[in-house]
Amino acid sequence: MTLTIRPRRLRRTDTLRQMVRETTLDTADLIAPLFIVEGRDIEKPIGSMPGQAQLSVDRLDREIDSMRELGIPAVLLFGIPAHKDAQGSGAWDEAGPVPQAIAAIKRRAPDTVIVADVCLCEYTDHGHCGVLAGPGQGDVLNDPTLELLARASLAYAKAGADIIAPSAMMDGQVAAIRAGLDAAGYSDTPILAYAAKFASAFYGPFREAAESTPQFGDRRTYQMDPANGREALHEVALDVAQGADMLMVKPAGAYLDIIRAVRERYTLPLAAYQVSGEYAMIKAAAANGWIDERRAVLESLTAIKRAGADMIITYYAKQAAAWLR
């Protein structure tokens, strides 16, 4: 039998494979998350996320320098305050860890794009993403939380954040933040909406890193049901209508279909978050010799890009950037 069509012809050599490659992963696609704590001279390893650590502001210079050398263009900041309360008031404290980190990074590397995550879970003593109906009650009040998210967003914009990224999954949060920023003269500050954020089992290590585990209940009343795809597109449509400048799907690996669906319907820049559990699983499997870490990481990131993401938030940003070089 004579075959005229042989796809393997274009796979024979590495150079040929590169020439016909459909999806290209680049360091410029990566955003590195950082966990900022109050205090000095702190670099506290995160047990469930090997290679990651909580950092105090005075320990940021070396980290930012290494990212600049690798060509990583952006960081995503999470703050862990020394003291927490029921409202999460540390989230809008201008002397808090995130505003201080923003100022330090801008002094060290003015061109680094700083994305400030906006949520209350790291700042509340109960670990939920908004204010509660009462002590010990797990019902998060949507509308009173919006005002607090807007206050935190303004504090980060004043400190010099380039992008505000609300992740609390409160209805109307993009509109409330947009109105608050515009009224204060920050109409040029873009909003990256965590538009489709699912109540995922893959967030476990993050809660250790951000010290944000709910003291009771869970977040399924405001984060999305993992079974719902059409609802994700509804959530995205609402954020677009409220003025989101960029969109995000979180997590990434188990939600490639959502990334693809959003990409097909919207032209706004699209980010995807390879979350802590995805990172931890690859690390654990690699540590046991079960997979090739480098190939697994680059394959997973390429898949996220292939699905339609323009930007990828990943704890592997530094390692991936080094490998790509």
Quick one: pLDDT at residue 50? Answer: 97
Q: pTM of this prediction? A: 0.96
Quick one: pLDDT at residue 297? Answer: 98
Q: Is pLDDT above 90 for 218?
A: no
Spell out a b/e string for 239-251, using b for 16 or more CB atoms within 10 Å of the CB, else e: bbebbbbbbbbbb
Is 250 catalytic? The answer is yes
Quick one: pLDDT at residue 135? Answer: 73
Q: Is pLDDT above 90 for 78?
A: yes
Q: Are 276 and 284 in contact (CB under 8 A)?
A: no
Average pLDDT over residues 202-216: 90
Give the percent of the chain with pLDDT over 70. 99
Helix (H) or strand (E) holding 280: helix 276-287
Nearest to 98 by CA among 125, 118, 68: 118
For 24-324, CATH gives: 3.20.20.70
Which one of 44, 106, 158, 197 is the catalytic residue?
197
Quick one: pLDDT at residue 133? Answer: 85
pLDDT digits (tens, 9 = 90+) for 20-33: 999 999 999 999 99
Domain boundaries, the chain: 24-324
- Band of the pLDDT at 136, cuts 50, 70, 90? low
Spell out a b/e string for 37-55, using b for 16 or more CB atoms within 10 Å of the CB, else e: bbeeebeeebebbbebbbb
Which one of 44, 106, 158, 250 is the catalytic residue?
250
Q: 1: buried, middle or exposed (CB in 10 Å: 19+, 13-18, 0-12)? A: exposed
Q: Is pLDDT above 90 for 216?
A: no
Q: Is pLDDT above 80 for 137?
A: no
